[in-house]
Structure formats: structure tokens, C-alpha cells
Amino acid sequence: MAKKKHVSNLPDHWHISDEVKINGRLVTVDSELSFKGVRGRFRFKRMVTLDDGRSWLDVFGGPENHETLRSFGIERVKTVHRIAKVRGNQ
């Protein structure tokens, strides 16, 4: 049986990373983050960087029972948590 080739629907000028260093801490998939001005904790999913240098973090989470996929700039990170508290991470 032949392997399926992964086809990405993302534009060619998007560069995806599944880890990033923020505030001196390595953030990998499902690491928990808090953001300035936003309630709840979020799980890191990926970082997107464009050819022109702009970048953002795609995360999933938020207030309990209102979790959603969101995107934030790295400058909005308030805390990189060391202890997982989000229900899906325990």
C-alpha cells in the first residue's frame, strides 16, 4: 500500500514551527501559556512565521467551557506555565 503524501493548504510563505523559545523557556506542542488581557490558559499548537518576519502563535484554550482556537503575537505572552492545569493536559 502506498503512503499518502501530506498536502498542506497553507501558503508557501508561511513557515510552521512546533517549538519556540519564549521568556527563556522552550515551548513545545501542548505547553500551557497565559496571555496579557485574556482569561484562561491556552495550549500551544504551532508558531507561524512569514517571509517578511511577522509571526504569531496558534493556541487552543481559554475560559473553561469556552475553549477555542486563537492566534496571538509572541509579545502578548504573559506566562509560560511549568505545571499543566488544562483538563486535556492532565
Query: Residues 2-60: pLDDT tens digits?
Result: 555 555 687 888 899 999 999 899 999 999 999 999 999 999 999 999 999 999 999 99
What is the distance between the alpha carbons of residues 90 and 88, in angstroms, rounded to a whole number?
6
Identify the domain containing residue 61 by its residue range. Answer: 14-82
In a domain, 28, yes or no: yes
In a domain, 5, yes or no: no
In a domain, 75, yes or no: yes
- The single-letter code of the amino acid at 24 is G
pTM of the model: 0.82
pLDDT for the residue 81: 93
16 touches 10 (CB < 8 A): yes
Domain count, the chain: 1
Nearest alpha-carbon partner for 23 in 78, 65, 82, 61 = 78
In a domain, 1, yes or no: no
Higher pLDDT, 66 or 76: 76
CA 37 → CA 18, 41, 90, distances in Å? Answer: 24, 12, 25
